[in-house]
Amino acid sequence: IVPYQPFPTADGWIIIGAGAERHWQRLTELIEMPSLAEDDRFRTNPDRLQQRQLLIGILIPEIQKKSTATWLELLREAGIPCGVINRPEEALNDEQILARGMIVELEHPAVGSYKSLGNPINLDGTPITYRRPAPLLGEHNQEILTELGFTPDEIAKLMNDGTL
């Protein structure tokens, strides 16, 4: 499907999925280049796929002319699938992400308080609990190797050799 990819805007990034012909037609109108929809090189999705590099090279400068917020509003009003691509700091402070509890603050014995991804599954009447922090590198090596059948002497040798 072309175009169906991230695009830079004047102040960030968005993803546009204009695979259906009606979406493609509307996109050409939004970028004020409706003649692209009638151009034989880009008329159908197979045509656009064959000319992908050329087409994307035409679209990028046009999309870069407007802000992310402007594009999202225009694309959504036109019914074209789209979304913002957040930088990490934006994702961590997104209103919807925070409202759903997708970012949680946890305690770790080595690093103290830190933010982490929360459980994406929320069930009524089943509160989510976080029992322990992520393990440190190698923290459970002995337990795992013992379960795999290594003897204490073999584990000690691996540790002394610097393998673990």
114 and 157 in a single domain? The answer is no
Model pTM above 0.85: no
Q: Please indicate, yes or no, whether residues 127 and 140 belong to a single structural domain of this protein.
A: no
Number of domains within the chain: 3
According to DSSP, the residues that pair with 117 across neighbouring strands are 103
- Are residues 80 and 14 part of one domain? yes
Give the pLDDT of residue 146.
96
> What domain range is 92 assigned to?
88-133
Same domain, 80 and 35: yes
Which pLDDT does position 109 carry in this prediction? 87
Beta 103-108 vs 82-85: how paired, if at all?
A: unpaired
pLDDT in tens, the chain (164 residues): 999 999 999 999 999 999 899 999 999 999 999 999 999 999 999 999 999 999 999 999 999 999 999 999 999 999 999 999 999 888 888 898 888 888 888 888 888 998 888 888 888 888 888 888 888 889 999 999 999 999 999 999 999 999 98
Q: Looking at the structure, tell me whether residues 9 and 81 fall in a common domain.
A: yes
In this structure, what are the phi and psi dihedrals at residue 39, rounded to the nearest 5 degrees?
Answer: -70, 125
Tokens linked to 74: 């225009």
